[in-house]
Structure 1
Amino acid sequence: MTESAAVTGIGVIAPNGLGTEEFWTATQKGISGIERISRYDPASYPTRLAGEVTGFEAGEYLASRLLPQTDRMTQMALVASDWALADADLDPAAVPEFDMGVVTASASGGFEFAQNELQKLWSKGPEYVSAYQSFAWFYAVNTGQISIRHGMRGPSGVLVTDQAGGLDALGHARRHIRKGTGVVVSGGVDASLPPWGLVSLLSTGRLSPTDDPARAYAPFDTSADGHLPGEGGAILVLERESRARERGARVYGTVAGYAATFDPGPGSGRGPGLRRAIETALADARVTPGAIDVVFADAAGVRDLDRAEAAALSAVFGPNGVPVTAPKTMTGRLYSGAASLDTATALLAMRDGVVPPTLRVTDQAADCAIDLVRDTAREMRVNHALVVARGHGGFNAAMVLRAPAAD
């Protein structure tokens, strides 16, 4: 029998909460972390709102020698991994080093570090550029730094599929678990909000120019005009379920099904691949659409993309056939951190029987026939949750999570 991948630890750093429980409390209450960008004056940019992580001081959690070597995203990833391992009550020193792997997602690498060093290069000269630039910007740096910090020398990797990356990383982690690795630390954390990062995100044409935090980023709404960027994400600890049970670990849930697809090119005459990803993930989990209790939506906030996602969900579940939520409206879209944070949120919804709300949808579009959980949380039992994600460029991913069996 194929070994199940159980989630035993969660570490969250998000715009509306540092730490899993602070984030979860705010998310249930519909508390948003979206505000005007504060680390620099965004007045000259078309998008001026974002989900910034505030109150995070890396020096409070990490040794001073690490700070000049690492980008903000890596500092957050290291702290989130520490929190996830503590939550799992797992001491890496007690596990054989080759029985632990790391798989993370990245969308941009260390943008803030890279911008600072490029500014030194242009203004002062190459002798002022930090030697750490050689790896601090690199998209695989979070995987490397986590593995070094905890002595994890088993199978590792990085997935670069934009917003879908968080699910792809977890899907890859499950593959390692099934092949025999005992523990895999996985997920995604991103931080692409410095000016260079923001300009790069603006190039997609998908960011909202709305300046009112109470109106910007309203997916599935008739007024939808794009999404807002954010930083942060979630790191999860996955273990072989039998091993987790043997050591008496608390299990949040298991990764029951996963699939990824890629949209066909323009002009092909073929439709997007999201529906196929969902159906394949359900088949992988060996569940029918009726078994899914809630869907955590990708929620692009772009009318055409929202319409396509709603059509895929309606095709699989029927119009208004399953509750759908998009708690990322409280954080912004976190790029590689988005789907792993949605996964963590879905597992917490299973634990507590509460589905968090979607904010700012005041006039749901008629062509988005989904049962959207709006404004306030919905209390309900969640045995199976579906998380869907799409990355810029045609990436689609879907994951089915299963609540732990009652003891």
Structure 2
Amino acid sequence: MTQRITIHWFRRDLRLNDNTALSAALKGKSPVLPLFIFDTNILDELDRDDARVHFIYKQLQHINLILKQKYKSSILIKLGNPLSVIQQLSSEYDIEAVHFNRDYEPYAIKRDQLLIDFLKEKGIKVESHKDHVLFEAHEVLKKDDSPYTVYTPYKKQWIKHFEDKTIRIKKIETNRFIQNNFDFPSLNFIGFKESNINVPDYNLSSIKNYAEERDFPYLNSTSFLGPHLRFGTVSIRQIIQSLKLEDSTFLSELIWREFFIQILVHFPHVVTKSFKKQYDRIKWRNNKEEFEKWCYGQTGYPLVDAGMRQLNKTGFMHNRVRMVCASFLCKHLLIDWRWGEAYFASKLLDFELASNNGNWQWSAGTGCDAAPYFRIFNPTEQQRKFDPHLMYIRQWVDDFDTLNYARPIVEHSMARKRALETYQEAVKSGIAES
């Protein structure tokens, strides 16, 4: 007789505690089969030593160990197209229900809808849950139910909602996991190998002086929380609950994350086009040789080069430096923000489509709530202000004090003038056509 089960599908929620969909699944009548699918549609785009895949793998090992030790259970790991995997499982088990936490990226929405349609057709209950954010895109709206496109009023409304909300942390209170010992595949079986880059543990104690120290890249005032929120090794509820309300600067960063997610949901065209459509008329130079020098930290601007070399070596870049590097690419070199966005997406441990896209469009001046196009960071002045003793630069640019260090690939005042003229031309042509 086919075993009757409920499936909890792990995705961007790689934890057992305070996991909304898992908690709901465990309240069902049938035992829960924990499932993770290495989605080949995503994996096929990645390098074989991608640090994020290695991080996911290690977190799954951790979950599997807890399931074995505490619940005499294990996680089923599959490789393939998620719909095909679920279809196969539906022929092997009598599935009562499938639970998963919602994902808000366009690919995930299409993937999940195909799965929902299949399960409903089979008469299998399917439930998606809010877990990745505190407030979803439809929960923080203007009075006329339209979405916010400017951060500050969104933040004010978000905080009003937050003040009325009671955060409840969900713990596993019952052992209703399936009693099974599934084989745990090797990383090589999935088609990957161990990465030399490790995802550090997050550390909230390092942000005690966040407001005063956050702009100085040589100070250790970084939580390294990004990858953990991205892959759900900790819940957003646990993080916010552990913050004191006076940590308003750090809380603002978490609100920016939800702001950009709701922008992605309401305005999905931002994935491939400018939020402000007139900026799609910008005549980018897109010099491939200059782009390569930017990628590898060979621009001759030390703060830019330090940031890019830190990114390439560690998968991380300080937030202030991210803004300088992005502005330099788009405005000094007039290279399309989508080129830079894609490069960051391939490298950042904390890559999340909504935030990466939103921040790149902010830097390029093409997005919602963007820095105006005429605001052009001077990377030399940024270095003098935020790395005055060259501590960050000397940490990452090992040839900085040598004759081999690159000469500047572009002169700042000329590049600034060229950028202003190019952006103004795009704005004028947009007005003329409208």
More helix by share: 2
More strand by share: 1
Normalized against structure 2, the TM-score is what? 0.26
Normalized against structure 1, the TM-score is what? 0.28
Report 1 or 2 for greater relative contact order, CA contacts < 8 Å, sequence distance ≥ 6.
Answer: 1
